[in-house]
Amino acid sequence: MPKLKSHKGTQKVIGNNSKIGHPGTRHNTGKKNAASNRSGRTASRISKADANRLKKVTY
């Protein structure tokens, strides 16, 4: 049986740590208010259940 490949898209988003960025902060930020832009800069932690689930995908 061949080796399983790690999911590269998930690795790019999450990497090896358990922090993830907020959605909606990539573009069109000029029309959003300043508070939502500031809160989108800080990273948030993913839940323990999601971390265990993603560990299987990204190895």
CA angle 30, 32, 34 (to 5 degrees): 90
pTM, 2 dp: 0.53
Task: Decide if 2 is inside a domain.
Answer: no
Do the beta carbons of residue 56 and residue 7 sit within 8 Å? no
Look at the chain and report how many structural domains it folds into.
1
User: Strands 44-45, 19-20: parallel, antiparallel or unpaired by DSSP?
Assistant: antiparallel
> Does residue 1 sit within a domain?
no
Q: Domain for residue 3, yes or no?
A: no
Residue 35 lies in a domain: yes
Write down the pLDDT at residue 57: 82
Of 2, 16, 23, give the one whose Cα is nearest residue 59: 16
Give per-residue pLDDT as tens, 17-51: 778 888 899 999 999 999 999 999 998 888 889 88
Task: Choose between 31 and 10: higher pLDDT.
Answer: 31
Domain range enclosing 17 = 8-58
Give me the pLDDT at residue 32, please: 96
Nearest to 36 by CA among 22, 50, 48: 22
